[in-house]
Amino acid sequence: MSDACSPVRFTVNGRAVEVALPPATRLADALREELGLTGTKIGCNAGDCGACTVRLDGAQVCACLVPLAQVEGRGVATVEGLAREGRLSRLQEAFHAHGAAQCGICTPGMLMAADDLLARDPRPGEQAVLDALGGVLCRCTGYRKIVEAVLDVAGTGPAAQRDADGGVGARIAKVDGIAKLVGAEDYGADDWPDDALVLRALRSPHAAARFEVGDLAPLHARFPGLVRVLSAKDVPGPNAFGIYPVGKDQPVLAEGEVRYRGEAVLALVGDAATIAAIRDEDVPVAWTPLPAIAGVAAGLAPGARRLHAHLADNVLVRGRVRRGDPEAALAGAAAVASGRFSTSFVEHAYIEPEAGWARRVGDRIEVHVTTQTPYMDRDEIAHVMGLKPEQVRVVPTAVGGGFGGKLDLSVQPLVAIAAWHLGRPVRCTYTRPESMASSTKRHPAEIEARFGADGDGRLVAAVFHGDFNTGAYASWGPTVANRVPVHATGPYEVPHVRATSRAVHTNEPPSGAFRGFGVPQAAIAHETMMDELAGQLGIDPLEFRHRNALRRGSVTATGQRLEASAGLQACLEVLRPRWRELRAAAEAANREGGVLRRGVGVACMWYGIGNTSMSNPSEMEVGIARDGAITLFTGALDIGQGSNTIMAQIAAEALGVPASRIRLVTGDTDLTRDAGKTSASRQTFVSGNAVRLAAEDLRAQLARLGNADLSLLPEVARGCVAMGRGRFDPPTTALDAEGQGVPYATYGFAAQLADVEVDVELGTVKVLRIVAAHDVGRAINPVQVEGQVHGGIAQGLGLALMEEYLPGRTENLHDYLIPTIGDVPPIETILVEDAEPLGPFGAKGIGEPALIPTAPAILGAIHHATGVRIRSVPATPDRVRAAILAHGARP
Ligand code: FES
Ligand code: FES
């Protein structure tokens, strides 16, 4: 194609280039596909995410919106041009030092937008930074460290607190951070063999339908570059995958029936231009739409059509925890609060869409992919291909955000099956709408709760039921249904409990894992209960929580005695002065009157670290080479949360060397052992322990070798002359029929304050500040922990105020709103370190705990400001305004 086009001449980072592509080619595509400058990322191709931001003649632009013809004779600057002669720019250095890049997929765009700002205004204030970076979305960081980094360079903000090196507790920069800052990190869509074919899935436009595929010969005749159209019959093994051995219910390619909009039906494979040219309507598929089941009420309705033949009532799974006699206790309670709550589908909105490629190597298949779980992918790919797991090699790319959404298969089986049949590499990158339509979501929940307390303000009983819309396929529905009842009381001592849950199938997107596995939804209910009981009893909401907080020696609803780390009371105590101060300030402001009302809310959370009552081991290796180089072989995927750095610090501490001595080999299933998935906030606690044990094993081996000359020792594995191995599986027990047992070895605890301003005429809510106190056991790296807190709070803010995925209506980042840099307020983070004896150097986990209290704290603040309880999230302006009108607070 390029031969027929006149070349467009321009400069990139000062270098003259010529590109002969059609004039309407997106500049982003020209940079990436033609010039190999994949530092410029594509998150949406629609001008919504800013990941593709470059400078054009100095001014920031979205390269996905600029036609190639418009750059003739002009100068383009990309992230690859920021570092000079191998030295990072001051801006890149500041991002590194402040921990401003987590997954790093947004980082090139952020850097270029900031570079533009600093060129125009060398000493910007915070508002100017917010304005200049406002077009670039970040889903990981909560933006605050990005703002700090830019202000640091400008000299208008503080320098980073950073340790140059160290072990546990050191504020070192990411050990793998530089590649993210210079555009050298390869994500799923950034690298592929030259001869790779391109695959695109044809997906259902209907939520429920039967279909027939017509004669494909005319399609092949019309598009000679179409090499193959794969259908269900091309799946070599069982055409069904799923996380649980008993829940393999999702076809790679649908067989005659689709159960949700976005389900894959066929896979078109060919050269890139051909695949781009084929429109969906060119493919002969005859659809017969069926009535779609939307919402759990429809799924549970008597006579509702079964989504899966083996489930008579569309209930995938039920969860239960029962202890004592809650009804009797409620009957005798001095105060009882009750309520119904509902939450929406929430989209992960990682800025990197699903992407990867595969090639056949003899009788093995090799899959390079963005994933949170290489070993689970390996086993699932092997299953659908009818291969042994050893015949599958998964090589994870860098991951541009996951949050649970990249725990399920996406492109993996498609490219693997295509490459297997064709004997050629095949690559696939989802478009943003495709990613949003086809990927898993946070479960919408319908919750009923009743809690009671005695006259002293002590909780006596909790009754909770949650129905979770698990969509068309099982995915992680069982995990949500089992985790929620355990956490339904909130982090409080409640002697009498009945907590139940159901995961219900509908013709909606499969709901899966999303940062918290249903606990954030449950927290909205239990925290509202706390506020209402405190209100009825005339007790301060923070003090009410403190009085009832789980602590060392407490017994949970599953009958587990908390033997050690349980720092919730400490979290509330450190928040107490800020709570009083902010509440008083809000009440003083409200005495002035006006349409803007201030409010301050508090919310708490607990979260079991690791899988619920299931074995979830991690295995690690640490080796030493003849030259003394130490390598950590880690299968624990760093999806931006910083686990590579955390693991290196733990290994360093256990070996007594600085973290800079530790090299990393990550993820590749041929080179690392199974560390389990990156989810359930488990990697620091579980894999961190495995790393510690591996490093201690290596240290013991070296001690036995005494003064032996390493250079003379034989290799034992992968270039190492000694290899330490560690394995850790958290001690838990199965839950019995009443949900009694030890579901988790340890728990994270936290409390957060939200300070908000509500415009009672418009219904808009602006979060002014979050104060977060988190008991993390031990902060292995406080910078990374703070980053997780910030990012979790931003996602919690989205859950509370703006995020609502509507299939077919919000399948892009224009209509689906996530918090922008202007939405996330200043965050005060206080780390409480109630050391966990089972944890590596006392550490627990932080990934999910960070998000869980934010939404209920914001909802509590809205109530404080207006007197209105919002029980259905997101609390969009229309809902808030309607609630205010119904409450009669304002005309
Ligand atoms: S890829 Fe260009 S704005 Fe999202
Ligand atoms: S670091 Fe910004 S999207 Fe991941």
Enter the tokens of residue 6. Answer: 């006149």
- To test the pocket of ligand 1, the residue of 29, 32, 49 to mutate (highest count of ligand atoms within 8 Å of its CB) is 49
How far is ligand 2, taken at its centre, from the CA of residue 411, in Å?
21
Cα 280 to averaged position of ligand 1 atoms, centre (Å):
23
Pocket test for ligand 2, best of 53, 98, 107 (most atoms within 8 A of CB): 107
0.95 cut: is pTM over it? Answer: yes
Ligand 2 centroid to 781 CA: how many Å?
19
Q: Ligand 2 centre from 371 Cα, in Å?
A: 15
Q: Which ligand is nearest to the CA of 136?
A: 1
CA nearest neighbour of 782 among 642, 661, 627, 606 = 642
- Cβ of 639 closer than 6 Å to ligand 2, yes or no, is no
**Nearest Cα to 241, choosing from 410, 437, 485?**
410
Verify whether ligand 2 is closer than 6 Å to residue 641 (CB atom).
no
User: Strand 197-203 to strand 426-429: parallel, antiparallel, or no bridges (unpaired)?
Assistant: parallel
CA atoms in the 13 A half-sphere facing the CB of 293: 26
Question: Which residue from 62, 137, 187, 814 has its CB within 8 A of the most atoms of ligand 1, so it is best to mutate?
Answer: 62
Tokens standing for residue 187:
């994500």
The crossing angle, in degrees rounded to 10, of helices 854-866 and 519-537 is 40
| Eight-state DSSP code of residue 174 | P
Judge whether 105 and 351 are in contact, CB under 8 Å. yes
Within 6 A (CB) of ligand 1 lie 42-45, 47-52, 62, 64
Nearest residue (CA) to ligand 2, atom 2? 138
Compute, in angstroms, the gap from residue 51 CA to the centroid of ligand 1.
5
Residue nearest atom 3 of ligand 2, based on CA coordinates: 138
Looking from the CA of residue 62, the nearest atom of ligand 1 is 2
Inter-residue contact 589 to 583 (CB < 8 Å): no
Distance from the CA of 189 to the center of ligand 1, in angstroms?
A: 14
Q: Please state the atom number of ligand 2 nearest to the C-alpha of residue 640.
A: 4
pLDDT at res. 552: 97
Ligand number with the minimum distance to the CA of 53:
1
CB of residue 138 inside a 6 A radius of ligand 2: yes
Helix (H, G, I), strand (E, B) or coil at 621: strand
pLDDT score recorded for residue 889: 53
Contact between residue 526 and residue 489 where contact means Cβ atoms under 8 Å apart: yes
Which atom of ligand 2 lies at the shortest distance from residue 110's CA? 2
Low-confidence ranges of the chain (pLDDT < 70): 1-4, 889-891
| C-alpha–C-alpha distance, residues 638 and 101, integer Å | 13
399 Cα: distance to centroid of ligand 2 (angstroms): 10
DSSP string, 698-762: HHHHHHHHTT--GGGSPP-BTTBSEEEEEEE--------TTS-S---S-EEEEEEEEEEEEETTT
Angle at 672 between CA 669 and CA 678, to 5 degrees: 80
Query: Per DSSP, which regions of 13-93 are E strands?
Result: 15-19, 53-56, 59-62, 75-77
Instruction: Looking at the CA of residue 48, tell me the nearest atom of ligand 1.
Output: 3
Ligand 1 atom closest to Cα of residue 813: 4
Instruction: Report how far ligand 2's centroid is from the alpha carbon of 101 (Å).
Output: 6
Token pair for 68: 């190639």
| Residue (of 632, 676, 670, 678) closest to 653 by Cα position | 632
Three-state DSSP at 883 gives helix
Cα–Cα distances in angstroms (integers) from residue 239 to residues 253, 440, 478, in the given order:
7, 19, 21
| Cα(107) to centroid(ligand 2), Å | 7
330 φ/ψ sector (left φ>0, alpha ψ -120 to 50, else beta): alpha
Q: Is the CB of 102 under 6 A from ligand 2?
A: yes
> Interhelix angle for 144-154 vs 107-120, to 10°?
30
**What is the CA(350)–ligand 1 centre distance, in A?**
13
Q: Ligand 1, residues 29, 32, 45, 107: which to mutate, most atoms within 8 A of Cβ? A: 45
Tell me the CA–centroid distance for residue 674 and ligand 1, in Å. 35
Number of other CB atoms surrounding residue 2 within 10 Å: 11
SS3 label, residue 482: helix
Q: What is the secondary structure of 744-808 as a DSSP string?
A: -S-EEEEEEEEEEEEETTTTEEEEEEEEEEEE-SS-SSHHHHHHHHHHHHHHHHHHHHT----TT
Neighbour tally for 709: CB within 10 Å = 8
Starting from the CA of residue 95, give the closest ligand: 2
Helix axis angle, 782-801 to 144-154, nearest 10°: 120
Q: What atom of ligand 1 comes closest to residue 44's alpha carbon?
A: 4
Ligand 2 and 349: CB distance under 6 A: no
Q: How many whole angstroms from 49 Cα to the centroid of ligand 1?
A: 5
Q: What's the CA-to-centroid distance between 786 and ligand 1, angstroms? A: 28
The two tokens of residue 757 are 């301003």
Q: How many CB atoms lie within 10 A of CB 355?
A: 24
Query: Ligand 2: distance of its center to the CA of 350 in Å?
Result: 8
Which residue minimizes the CA distance to atom 3 of ligand 1? Answer: 47
